[in-house]
């Protein structure tokens, strides 16, 4: 299904959630932020546990910068989100520093009730670019995907799995791709370097790896991330999901069919890419249903598809708008 068509219902659900969350903003919250030199403006996005506002932050020297403020009301969260996922996210955004990860200016916590994560404001995100329904030039896809992979390779080197890689969580700042939203991310290596295996399915089902869908045995979440990268690349090239999307994959039967399609490698490229051996090769390695044979993040940029890096002249201004 085309991404531009599949996002309609999700947009409606987000707007309904945003309307409910917006009513929670009080004078108390505005005062808390004012004391931190932050002014909250209009809402620009939201997820299942938070709402993101545009805002202004006064930094050292009196300079005022545009920011995005992720607002979480802890009283509205489940025990698992409040006690596990939110603390994990705060810990990670405060220590992960990379040119292709969205910059976090500060984290404000108030009385174990509110959390505000203040980060740089993006020009848009990848999903809004894809929703336009216009195919991207391969050179542009290659450069943008290279930047995305660099961010993922960096967090994997740090032993962190993102677990929710998708076009919605890839922001665009001055035509540079930046990974965001570490709400489901976790430290995935032990002190001795061994992997902390998981059983939990996180994130959006269209991007989920087969091992996370089946959950028959513990799996490496960083290797699972690489499958999600394959879905991201496929959507950038085709504006479609490779194995299915929408409500039809969210039922028990639909999820089983999705998993069967992944295991059977039931994906294909449009005519303009069918003879592109490098793209086919990379997608086969990323979308490999067998995690033991799947390409790792540290190997992706060595693939022949990246041997020709486009000049900046190819990086056209195709940003979405928040």
Query: Which strands sit side by side in the sheet containing 124-125, from one edge to the other?
Result: 124-125, 170-173, 176-179
What end-to-end distance do the CA atoms of the chain give, in Å? 24
Q: Which of 279, 295, 275, 277 is nearest to 287 (CA)?
A: 295
To the query of whether residue 27 is one of the catalytic residues in this protein, the response is: no
Q: How far, in Å, CA of 21 to CA of 19, rounded?
A: 6
d(CA 36, CA 185): 27
Which listed residue (37, 75, 137, 164) is catalytic?
164
Q: Where are the alpha helices (DSSP H) in 217-276?
A: 221-238, 252-263, 271-274
Name every residue whose Cβ is closer than 8 Å to that of residue 73 and which is 6 or more positions away in sequence.
21, 24, 113, 114
Tokens 């006064």 -> residue: 58
Q: Tell me the catalytic residues.
A: 164
């Amino acid at each position: 299904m085309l991404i531009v068509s599949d996002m309609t219902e999700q947009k409606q659900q987000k707007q309904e959630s945003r309307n409910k969350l917006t009513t929670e903003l009080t004078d108390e919250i505005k005062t808390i932020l004012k004391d931190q030199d932050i002014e909250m403006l209009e809402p620009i996005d939201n997820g299942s546990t938070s709402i993101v506002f545009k805002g202004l932050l006064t930094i050292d020297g009196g300079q005022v910068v545009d920011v995005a403020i992720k607002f979480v009301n802890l009283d509205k969260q489940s025990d698992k989100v409040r006690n596990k996922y939110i603390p994990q996210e705060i810990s990670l955004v405060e220590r992960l520093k990379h040119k292709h990860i969205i910059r976090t200016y500060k984290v404000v916590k108030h009385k174990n009730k509110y959390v505000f994560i203040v980060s740089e404001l993006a020009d848009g995100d990848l999903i809004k670019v894809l929703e336009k329904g216009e195919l991207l030039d391969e050179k542009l896809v290659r450069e943008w995907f290279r930047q995305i992979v660099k961010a993922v390779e960096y967090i994997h080197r740090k032993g962190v799995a993102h677990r929710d890689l998708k076009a919605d969580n890839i922001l665009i700042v001055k035509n540079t791709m930046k990974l965001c939203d570490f709400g489901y991310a976790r430290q995935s290596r032990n002190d001795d370097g061994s992997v902390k295996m998981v059983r939990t399915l996180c994130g959006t089902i269209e991007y989920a790896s087969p091992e996370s869908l089946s959950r028959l045995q513990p799996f490496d979440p960083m290797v699972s991330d690489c499958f999600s990268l394959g879905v991201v690349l496929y959507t950038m090239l085709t504006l479609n999901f490779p194995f299915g999307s929408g409500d039809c994959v969210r039922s028990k039967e639909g999820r089983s069919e999705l998993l069967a399609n992944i295991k059977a490698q039931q994906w294909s490229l449009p005519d303009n890419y069918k003879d592109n051996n490098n793209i086919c090769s990379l997608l086969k390695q990323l979308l490999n249903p067998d995690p033991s044979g799947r390409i790792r993040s540290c190997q992706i940029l060595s693939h022949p598809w990246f041997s020709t890096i486009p000049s900046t002249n190819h990086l056209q201004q195709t940003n979405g708008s928040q």
